[in-house]
Structure 1
Amino acid sequence: MNAFRCLRLAARPPTFLQPTARFTPQHSRPIPSIRALSILTPRRPILPLSSTPSTQPPPGSTSTSTSTISPGALDLAAKISAHPALATTQIRCGPRDTYNPSHLVRKRRHGFLSRIRTKKGRKLLMRRLKKGRWNLSH
């Protein structure tokens, strides 16, 4: 949570920041305009604008712009939602970078102590116990 708070402060325009100490700049360069932070990669892959269905030429035309589309984009193009409003935003059901193969993460999400903490988890443990499962959870 603190990381997001820091990112929000960094993304604010300088007029919102409260000055803590006055200083004089040594260089007389103009301050660059505020830009969006690109530290974090998007969770869902995004297709380039040239491969969206609305910008592609009709199938009968002899345009060479179809050869500039990357093979990865063509591979993911079938996974896009059919709705035209969502065609340019993101890819659904595509590969994501959220997999964390850690034993601790698995235990935290699906472990016995995690199941006991919630009502739904306790019901799950009782179902497995009643069914005779040897392992109730991870």
Structure 2
Amino acid sequence: MIRARCLRSLVAIKASVASNSVVSLRRNFVSVYGPTRPTLTFDKTTLSEQKSSDILSDRGELLDLHPKISTHPALGATQVRSGPRNTFSPSHFVRKRRHGFLSRVKTQKGRKTLARRRAKKRTTLSH
């Protein structure tokens, strides 16, 4: 019974090592005693091909010269959390709610802000 469990665990270990060997081919470690995080390598030819394709589209138009951060080959397999997003949609009401006079009056920090602007004799105290 114990031998059967050992054989099952060995088979499971071999399977996990085989699946991890594919990942280890793409990564190279700097040193055994250095940083524990691996570094990813990338091919410079794909980077130059990517830059030329990003500048001109198939219709010949100029595209954005600064591609998105996630298009870099070194970051292909990683999760990017700080990439560019198109979420800005301005709203006058939201600006008034966040930075307006009534919101300044409600809080102590806002009242101090209004007092500083009055002391400087600003014509507009807030939005």
User: Shorter-chain TM-score: what band?
Assistant: 0.3 to 0.5
Higher share in helix: 2
* Higher RCO (CA < 8 A, seq sep 6+): 1
**TM-score normalised by structure 1 residue count:** 0.41
**TM-score normalised by structure 2 residue count:** 0.44
**Larger Cα-atom Rg:** 2
